[in-house]
Every structure is written in structure tokens, then in C-alpha cells.
Amino acid sequence: MHAQDGPAGGFTDGFEAHRDRLRSVAHRMLGSFSEAEDAVQEAWLRLARGGTDDVENLGGWLTTVVSRICLDMLRSRASRREELTGHRVPDEDPDPGRERSGDPEQEALLVESVGRALLVVLDRLGPAERVAFVLHDMFAVPFDEIAPIVDRSPATTKKLASRARQKVRGAAPALPGGELARQRRVVEAFLTASRNGDIDGVLAVLAPDVVRRADRTAVPPDRPGEIRGARAVAEEIAAFGRNSRFAEPALVGGAVGIVVAPQGRLRLVVAVTVVGERITAYELIADPGRLHRLDLGVLDAVTAAAEPGPPGRISPAGGDPR
């Protein structure tokens, strides 16, 4: 909304100066461009109704308002998921390649700026955990300012963010850093070749006797649950690998694997076994119950935790924490 006239006109410029930051905050909290836009629009309406006479720090006030709106939306979402336990969740799209509603180009830019794996893991946090983590670790908001938003004490809010941070990192890798980096290089080469439909490139990282397994939710009924041999696996990838464009390496049970997440929403996990420089096996997991039980983490977060610098601070991939 870009009001130019009327009673709101006097502070429209002030709001517009903060719009991009508010959108970034809301998108990281909600994982949805359209919902983030709704949250920012609601903040504008509240500002327009209440004015700015009593607002000393407009940016801080707007961040607080957007955060509270997002928290309510996350709680509502969590409530709906509880009600739908045992039923198909509406946003579990049976066709992960289909574009979702909204502005696909803008959605894609926001997803890439944050990282698909991070959005997937953020979606597993509780509402208050997610708000605390996003505001503190991604936007450097102090805990004493976050505490009133989540209705906790600063000390408890700090614990919320710490618990969220641990979930973002996932299970502690059972492998040394060098081995984890080597696995990641193999998995990234596999993804690059898959995206390009490069059968020779796929074959280069597959062991000759590689095995592809899949649960029945992950593949259509006419495709087998198990395929053996590099050539057969590579040909399947060339034919059905279009969704690799929505894929990103992630930590899966403490090892390097893959999440497939169109618009940042988890649809499939690929648990990969790497021996030497080759993939010897991988499993496609799409059953909702199995996905829920998997321990997922962000590889960049694990790397950041091992490097010097402020403890626990994870910036959005490719983004500006501002």
C-alpha cells in the first residue's frame, strides 16, 4: 500500500523507509512471501489507525508490531496443524514443481536470500522460538526488546533463542569437518549435474552399484521403490529430476543430505551415503511422518558454529541482517 494523501500521508514516507526490512523480518518468520506481505500490510493499517504521535522510534515500533502479527499467524498455523494431525496438511503440495500463488519471482528471490535449508528448519521451530531466533540471530534485536513480544522474561527469551539455535544446527555431525566438507562437495556436484540434466556428470559421482531407494510417498505408483546400478539411476534422474532446482544440501541425521523445498516448504529429503568420492546409496523420503522424525540442520550454521566470531549469530544466507 502506498498512500499518498489523507491523514496517513504525513507518515507514509517513514513507513516506506522501513518496508524492506519489515518484509525481510516477516518472510524469515513466516517463510511465505504472500503471508509476509499480509503482515506488513497489517502493520501499515495499525500505523494508519493509531498515528505516530506517541512513537519515538518508528523502525523499532514497526518491527515490534510486525513481529507480534507474525507470532499470531505462526500460532494459528501451529493450531491448524494440530487439528489436522493424521490428515493431509493442505500446503503439502502433491506437485512440488508447481508454482505457488503470489509473486513467484519475488518469492524465489526471498527464498534464495535466506536459504531453503534454513527456511525448512525454521518451520520446525515453535512460534516463540522462531520469533526470538529471527529477531536476535538474524536482525540483532536485543533480548530485552524481544521479551515483551513473546511475553517472556529476557532470560527465558534468551533460552528460547538458544534452543532454536541448536535446532537450526541439528544433530552434532558424527564426522570431522574435513569429511563433512568432502561429502558436501560430492552432493553439490550431484545436484549441479541433476539440475543440468547432465547424465555423464551424474555418473561421475555415482558408484557403479549405487542403490536408489524411496518410500511409496516419494515416487509415483508406476516407479519402483528400489533401483540399482549407476546407469539406471542416472537415467531416472534425467527423466524425473526437474525438482532438483528446488534442492539444497542440508544436514540430515548428522550427515550431508539434501532437502527439496519449493518456496522454502519441505517436500522431500534425500538421505545420501557417500563413500570416498562417490554416492553409494540414497533414499527419497516424503512420507510426512518420516519427515517429521528426521533430524535436519543447516550446514552453514554448523560451519559458522565452528568458526571464530560471536557465538550463535547466524546471518541469513546471502542476506543483510541490518
- Residue 77 maps to a domain: yes
**Counted domains in the chain:** 2
Residue 35 within any structural domain of the chain: yes
Judge whether 136 lies within some domain: no
Q: Which three cell numbers stand for residue 175?
A: 564426522
Domain endpoint, select from 74, 90, 106: 90
Contact 176, 303 (CB under 8 A): no
In a domain, 224, yes or no: yes
Which of 90, 119, 140 is the last residue in one of the domains?
Answer: 90
CATH number at residue 268: 3.10.450.50
Other C-beta atoms lying within 10 Å of the C-beta of residue 173: 20
- Number of neighbours of residue 322 by Cβ within 10 angstroms: 11
Q: What is the CATH number of the domain that holds 86?
A: 1.10.1740
Q: Can you give the pLDDT at residue 301?
A: 61
Predicted pLDDT of residue 281: 97
The residue length of the chain stands at 322
pLDDT of residue 7: 41
Asked if 85 and 193 sit in the same domain, the reply is no
**Alpha helices per DSSP H over the chain:** 9-30, 33-50, 58-83, 104-114, 116-122, 127-133, 143-150, 154-169, 177-195, 199-205, 230-240, 288-293, 299-305
Is 214 within the bounds of a domain? Answer: yes
pLDDT value, residue 283 = 96
Q: Spell out the per-residue pLDDT of the chain, length 322, in tens.
A: 333 334 445 567 778 899 999 999 999 999 888 899 999 999 999 888 876 667 778 889 999 999 999 999 999 987 776 554 444 433 334 333 333 445 667 667 777 778 889 999 999 999 999 999 999 999 999 999 999 999 999 999 999 999 999 999 887 776 777 888 999 999 999 999 999 888 999 999 999 999 999 999 999 998 999 999 999 999 888 877 777 889 999 999 889 999 999 888 899 999 999 999 999 999 999 999 999 999 999 987 654 444 444 434 444 433 333 3
Domain that residue 222 falls in: 177-297
Q: What is the pTM of this model?
A: 0.79
What is the Cα–Cα distance from 35 to 110, expressed in whole angstroms? 13
pLDDT of residue 131: 97
pLDDT of residue 105: 72
pLDDT at 47: 86
